[in-house]
Amino acid sequence: MLDVSSCQISDFDSKAIGKILADFKCMRELNMNGCNLNQNTVKDVADGLMRAKQLEIVKMANIPTMGRSVNSVIYNLAFSPKIKFIDLEGMKATDSDTAEALFKLVNISGSIETLNLNRSDVINKLTEDFYKSVGQSKSLKYLNLGLETDNVSTVSASLIAKAVSMNKRSKGGLEALVLKNWFTSN
């Protein structure tokens, strides 16, 4: 386990973390919650994640400064054969490429069980393909798509309903779904 949560990560530090992830083949958990990662430092960490094939747990919550650079992290984790738990709560400044990376993650990974996107601005950017991949996932058990305050479109609400139904019909493993602030009562 490597826990550097709440640390101020410099360029030098991110290179060292990437090297640790690449070289220590038995690394199973990475906790970077609350770090100050930015577009430059995320790249080095993402490069290390690409080689960390034993990694099961990645916690990178409450790091809004990652922005779109989180895409490389998500993409590399999609090919991690043992990844079970990914916490990206509070992601900010994401784009349609982030939504695409999340689709690929859920679609490609045969081991992902928990995906926490609570309070992430990517939720309203998720595509129909993402919801289809949730519906087809055999491994995903817990999905948190909670919002801070906004509501989602009726299209997104319909898509998540179809995804849950599809997951059930295809004998998927979805057990828990968080949709906080998705719906309003009028």
Residue 185: is its pLDDT beyond 70?
no
Residue 125's domain comprises 2-178
Is residue 41 in a domain?
A: yes
Beta bridge pairs of residue 142: 114, 176
Is residue 185 in a domain?
A: no
Instruction: Encode pLDDT of 31-77 as tens digits.
Output: 999 999 988 899 999 999 999 999 999 999 999 888 889 999 999 99
Instruction: Encode pLDDT of 72-119 as tens digits.
Output: 999 999 999 999 999 999 999 899 999 999 999 999 999 999 999 999
Indicate the number of domains in the chain.
Answer: 1
The pLDDT score that the predictor gives to residue 148 is: 84
The percent of residues in the chain predicted with pLDDT above 90, rounded, is 84
Is residue 138 in a domain?
A: yes
Residue 123: is its pLDDT beyond 60?
yes
Distances (CA, A) of 178 to 44, 142, 145, 161, 183: 32, 8, 6, 12, 12
pTM for this entry: 0.94
Instruction: Kindly report the CATH number assigned to the domain that includes residue 154.
Output: 3.80.10.10
